[in-house]
Structure 1
Amino acid sequence: MTVFLDLKERLKEAYTATLASLVISLIIGFFGGTFLGKYFNKIRSAYPGILVILPGMMGLRGNVFGSMASRFSTMLYLGDLEPKIGEKRVLRNIVIAMMLSLIPVTILWMIGVIKGIRYHSFQILLIVISSTIFVSLLLGYFTAFVTIFSFKRGTDPDSVAAPLVASMGDLLTIPSLIAFILILEHSKTVFWTSNIGLILLLLFLVEISKVRRTELLEFKELFVIITLLALLSLISGFTLEKFSHLIQASVILGFAYPSLLSSFGNYGSVIAAKTSTKLHLGEIEKFFSVEPFLDILSLFATTPVIGSLINIFGIMLAKLILGSSVSFSLELALTYPLMALFIMFYSYTISYLLFKRDIDPDNVAIPLISNNSDIFGTIYAVLIAKLIVGG
């Protein structure tokens, strides 16, 4: 009886708190998807290197800032962080996150060039660097606000922060990339000025935040992980670039791709964050504990809603932006919950095993899960596109 009452409470939380954040993040993600769907052909033809880097950039934002949200949440519960945006640790974490983000995306660009995608390569590098600095600053403070605000309101940050942070990353990533592309095509002077200004801003923030070498070394583990995961994301990038014609031909997935990936990452990140906090608090003693599986089951109950909304929003945007009539995808609606369930079980397993090996899930599990969700999601999107297009 206690288990059923507990499940009932978690289902209530899943539908009142987590589902709300998932839907909001889905809407936010589709804002980014609107830009991707509208300019997909331009990117494919003039800036193909961006398609190789795009999944890595999207995953990197979720990796770095999702991990930061989980870390803030744990610190708040342990009393190691004051619930204030102006807390000095907030700015330091944001600056460190910016520094952590720049090297992996530069490596992704280099590999794309080495693999032969060299058209507009130097311009793409500048676009990627400027976008990373700009988005990291906005997303960093958004992450701090969401985590601290939910904590002060008595809502578990682990239930709402990861989905909102990941989707805000998607919202900002694609429009910022396209904005810099349009600026480049409109005025090279403005393009160069904005690039120089953002690089100077980064140097200024590094100086005033007074990030010490010892603090950077604390994030060595996270930096190595996200760099390796960025390299792993090339699987998604080259898959997306190779099968971009199918994604574009399916129409609906051109708009839904960012939200599809972020939603899978959201489910995985919520489970990882919840698992991490409970492991740190000693609430999970063995792998087959009831606690985490109740979390998974309650979240699974929301997946049909999210899968249907992805369909509906994709159809609406295809009609509104391109004037295309697209049918509801039963293939997507029926398989989405199963894919999300797989990712949640995968997320819990990874988090548990890492913690048992004295590796903090806050620093490793969420980045790993976010990255792997992007790979699984990209392959899933290509398979669904094949079913829709019949190619």
Structure 2
Amino acid sequence: MRPSRRERLRGRIEGRPRISPRVLGYLTEEKESLRQGFVALFISSVGELFAGVALASITNTLEELVGLAILIPAAIAMRGAIFGAMGSRISTAIHTGLFELNLRRGALAENVQAAIALSLVSSVFLAVLARYLSGILGIPTALTIVDYVIISTVAGLLAGAILLVITLLVTRLSVRREWDMDNIVAPILTAAGDILTLPALVLATYLIGIPVFSVSFSGVLVLVAGLALYLGLRYGAPGLRRILNESLPILALNGFVVILVGLALEDRLDQFLAFPVLLILLPAFLQEGGALGGILASRLSSKVHLGLIEARPLPQWTAFKDFTLVYIFAVGVFVFIGGASHLIAEGLAATLSPGFLATLGLDGETLSPGFFQMIGLSTLAGLIATTAAVLAAYYGSVTSYRLGLDPDTYGIPIITAAVDLLGFLSLIIALIVFGLAG
């Protein structure tokens, strides 16, 4: 006998919980990944918020050096792309048993050499893009090509040197304590990149505008970058040459996209200066989206290399389980950074004198639109950005693997570019939804 409508409905309702044990079982299996991921993301978020305070504190510098804001998202994103991909490649080498802690030869040495060369070349490339795209698109800038080369390259070298040390320390600790680098490397390196890059950019501005020296110094930086690339491609080990050959095209695309984000930021800088809490939120928002995508890309890349996931156009259940993990991370992270941004802004307004705030270009009465508005804005925009990160991570890893390329090299740069551009757009959409931008 055919079941009645009520019986069919009851059957569907009773059948629903069958999915939950599967999901809960997976989350139970991944409790260590959840713990490691949340700890790394929390540390990363706190670091990013400090970077945001640093960004909000240089509003006068941004107003005086028109065009400097163009470099900020690009310089930050490039550090994350280079060192995040490096960490992902090292993680895969550890998982596959090909890693040895040796700075003279092998995977670690090749990755260190590649990071140095790519940092130099990408910094010069970003400087050229920043100067000439701003002219083509009509975005005003007071900086010359010489200024951009010095600021971008010196900041890249300063931040890159410290990031390299941090990457090596994280690698050594991960090997010694048997941590899964896929869960921690992207958040830690993106946070460190943000914290280091902003002060480095400001410090580098003191080297511009010096007669004779500035022009000569910029020329030397360009020559050193070109020489590093030539030596790596001509005399480097096969692994180093492969990393450079595969990284250069994707980093060039990444640089182009994130420079567009910087141009958009410079064009909308007045809206962010109206509520400086948005400048506190911005680094954390953009980079946590990239960190979430980096976690997913690293996990997917390792599983593709190990044969646990097939490179299919439609994701398998194993991939969807990792997607679920990333969305769980996302909700916690974006609620936290939204609320924390407001509390930090309120704390600054309460503890710093109006005169001191004014010297920073801040108005203590209009730092934030409100606690719940910031949580809603951050969460809405964050979930949109996370969806972009998930799609970029999966299809970036799958496509690169099917083309015979290394997903570790392509995954994180693709995510960085996609999340920075779409993340910034999602933030603007959320600002419009909450009535904070037109």
> Do these two structures clear the TM 0.5 threshold for a shared fold by scoring above it?
yes
TM bracket (short chain): 0.7 to 0.9
C-alpha distance in structure 2 between counterparts of 1:335 and 1:55, whole Å: 21
**2:376 alignment partner, one of 325, 328, 331:** 331
Q: TM-score, normalised by structure 1?
A: 0.87
Q: Which has the higher contact order (CA 8 A, sep 6+)?
A: 1
After superposition, residues 279-290 of structure 1 pair within 5 angstroms as 279-285=304-310, 286=312, 287-290=314-317
Query: Residue 103 and residue 291 in structure 1: after superposition, are their counterparts in 2 closer, same or farther (change >3 A)?
Result: same
Per the TM alignment, residue 188 of structure 1 is displaced from its structure 2 partner at its CA by 5.2
Question: Deviation digits for residues 324-374 of structure 1, max 9, x if unmatched?
Answer: 453112432541452254134312233123222322211112101111100
C-alpha spacing 1:164/1:371, structure 2 compared with 1 (3 Å): same
Mapping of 1:56-205 within 5 angstroms? Answer: 56-84=74-102, 88-89=109-110, 91-112=112-133, 114-115=135-136, 117-121=140-144, 122-181=146-205, 183-184=206-207, 199=221
8 Å Cα contact 1:83-1:152 kept in structure 2? no
Q: Is the contact between residue 297 and residue 411 of structure 2 (CA under 8 Å) also seen in structure 1?
A: yes
Whether 1:17 aligns to 2:33 is no
Report how far residue 223 of structure 1 moved: 0.4
Q: Which of 247, 253, 256 in structure 1 is aligned with 2:272?
A: 247
**Other-structure match for 1:366:** 412
Q: Decide which of 25, 34, 45 is 1:5's aligned counterpart.
A: 25
Q: Contact 2:124 / 2:222 at 8 angstroms: preserved in 1?
A: no
Q: Deviations over 1:171-226 (max 9, x none)?
A: 11111112233x359x959x969x68x959968x959xx74625364212210111
Measure the CA separation in 2 of the matches of 1:374 and 1:74: 25
The answer to whether the aligner puts 1:49 opposite 2:71 as a matched pair is no
Whether 1:379 aligns to 2:400 is no
Asked whether 1:261 is paired with 2:279, we answer: no
Cα gap change, 1:39 to 1:297, in 2 (>3 Å): same
The structure having more radius of gyration, on CA atoms, is 2
Contact 2:292 2:330 in 1 (8 A): no
CA 1:202–1:58 in 2, change beyond 3 Å: closer, same or farther? same
Tell me how far apart the structure 1 counterparts of residues 265 and 437 of structure 2 sit (CA, whole Å): 17
Deviation at 1:92, TM superposition (A): 1.9
> Which segments of 5 or more consecutive residues in structure 1 lack a partner in the other structure?
none
Q: Runs of 4+ in structure 1 displaced over 6 angstroms?
A: 200-203
Structure 2 length-normalised TM: 0.78
Q: Which amino acid aligns with 2:49?
A: F
Structure-2 residue corresponding to 1:389: 436
The Cα of 1:261 is off from its aligned counterpart by 0.2
Q: How many equivalent residue pairs? A: 384
Query: Does the CA contact (< 8 Å) of 2:385 and 2:423 recur in 1?
Result: no
Paired with 2:222 and 2:421, the residues of 1 have a C-alpha distance of 34
Seen in structure 2, the aligned counterparts of structure 1 residues 38 and 270 have a Cα distance that, compared at 3 Å, is same
Q: Percent same amino acid at aligned positions?
A: 24
